[in-house]
Structure formats: structure tokens, C-alpha cells
Amino acid sequence: MLGNTSSSLEIGDLPIVPANMRATVLFANMRAAMRRWKLRIGSWRPKPGSGWELEYRIVRVNLPIMTAVIVLAAIAAVLFYVPAFFLQQTIVYLKNDPSREHRGWGWVFCAELFFSNVISQLVTGQLWSLSTTELQTLVRKDVASSSAAKPTPVPEVESAPAASSTTEADGEAWCVISHVLRMITGNSPNEIMIGTLFLYHLLGVSCFFGLAVTCLFLPMNHFASKEVIGAQNNLIKARNERVALTNEFMAWERSFEKRVLKVRGRELKYQKLNYTIEETVFNEMKFALNAFPETLINMLQVCLAEPLSICLS
């Protein structure tokens, strides 16, 4: 017989998961954390089962890997600008030694430029591996392990799709904490400070005008994010309603078909709105918004720069 005969997938073909990422260990750690750690600031305590208490427990359980992500993010932010520094030193060497009398310094700067790029890429790869592979998986499993037991063991048919979609949405939303933790604590502050220092060294005071214009667009970004979140919530509600209707008994009738198509139309409406906002604001307008501060910096430099004197000989 011609063709491909594929072997069956067995347990030995699957990758070996370390013990700290197995479901039993994560479930036991999260259950122990729910009994051991309670969020309390002075006399204030959050409402039991609230998001603040869940976030506090997730941070306490995953504190070692979160600390590693913060440290790696700070190191990666500094190493991101090290190749630019060595490139600047290489250009200074080429300008100061046009006859190439001291070639040794040129080779030194080239080697530093190469190794700084290699080390930066290696550290960034380890950072992404920790934040996207391990930390996201741990947080997703911790959210599922922290759910309280329901009084009814068998849920209703109408609430099953909604519960499944809500749990999936909560897990995906909590997984963003790895990116937020990396950007807020270690990556963004260091890159802003070092980048501002580079811009001030190259452009002078005019770089602060560009940064000020960039800060003015932060409310627009916040407004667009709120619209995206609202569209996603409405999309999840419409999807849950459509799945619940398709699970109805006797759903093959014409009346159910009209109801399903009506809900499907509303679902496509919010899906189109979500796609439009993300494409127009976050993908298309970002180029224009990034070029606007640079345009103001160039206009300011034109106004403040000294006129050039052209000498014809």
C-alpha cells in the first residue's frame, strides 16, 4: 500500500514537563496559598474572592520567577542601548583617525559591538522564554486552581458555554500580567531614562518637546484601549448567547435559526468594531503618531539653529 503510515502518539513522545509546572503541584500550591496568605493593609481588607486578593496570592506563589523576570527585564533594557553606544564610539574613532594609524581600537570597538549584540539577544530570548512560556502558564493554571467549588456539581446547559468562555477570558486576561510586569518594572523605565539621555546628548533640549507631545497622546491610547475592551466584552456576551442557543433542544426549528442569525449578526458587528479599532488606531495611526513628535523636534531645531554661511570659492 502506497502512502504514509503515521505512528500513534504516545506518552513518551510528549515533552517532559518539570515538576513545578505540573497541574497537581500548582493546584496544591495555590490551595495552600489561599489558606495561608490574606491581603491586609492596616485595617483594610479586600472583599473575599475579589481580584485584589487573587492578584496578591498569584504574586506570592510566583514571586521567584517574577523576580527573575524583573531582573532580566532591567538587564535587557540596559543591554538594548549598549550596541548603540559602541556604534557611536566606532563612528568617533573613524572620524578621529582617518589615516587608520591605530587599527587596534577599531577592532576592539567592532568586537564590543558584536558581543554586545549577541549578549543582548541571548538575554532577551531568556526573558521572553520566562515571561511567555513559564510565567504565563503558571498564572493561567493558578487562576484555574483558585476557582471556588460550585454548590451544584452539574451546571445547566445554558450556563456551561458562558462559564467556559468566562474562565478562558479570565485566564487570558491574567496572562497579560507577565507582559505588564516586564514592561512596567524593568523594561520601560530603564529604556525611557537611557533613551532620553541618548536623545538629550544628540538633540539637546528639543528632545523634551518631543517627549511632551508623546505624553499628550497617552489619553488617546487609554480611550482606544477602553473601546477595545468594551468591544471584546460585548463580543464575548454575543458569542455566549449564540452558543447557548445552538445547544437548545429543538434548535433546528426556523425560529431558532432566526434567533441564532440575529445574535450572530450582533457578534460580527462587535468583531468588526474590534478589528477596525485595532487596525486604525494601533496599526495604522501609530506611524503618524510616532512621526509627529519627530516633526516638532525638527521644526524646533530649524527655528533655533544658527544659519549656515555658504562659501563659494
Let me know if 242 is exposed, middle or buried by CB neighbors in 10 A (0-12, 13-18, 19+): buried
CB 34, CB 146: distance < 8 Å: yes
The whole-number pLDDT of residue 115 equals: 92
The whole-number pLDDT of residue 136 equals: 60
Rounded Cα distance, 301 and 130, in Å: 43
Pick from 132, 112, 114: nearest CA to 124? 132
Q: Which residue has the cell 513559564?
A: 134
The whole-number pLDDT of residue 151 equals: 45
| Strand ranges in 160-283 using DSSP code E only, listed in sequence order | none
Low-confidence ranges of the chain (pLDDT < 50): 1, 149-158, 308, 310-313
The whole-number pLDDT of residue 73 equals: 83
Those residues whose C-beta lies under 8 Å from the C-beta of residue 106, and which sit 6 or more positions away, are: 90, 93, 94, 97, 100
Rounded Cα distance, 59 and 57, in Å: 5
CB 245, CB 192: distance < 8 Å: no
For residue 62, what are the CA distances in angstroms to 45, 59, 71, 234, 286?
Answer: 22, 5, 14, 32, 34
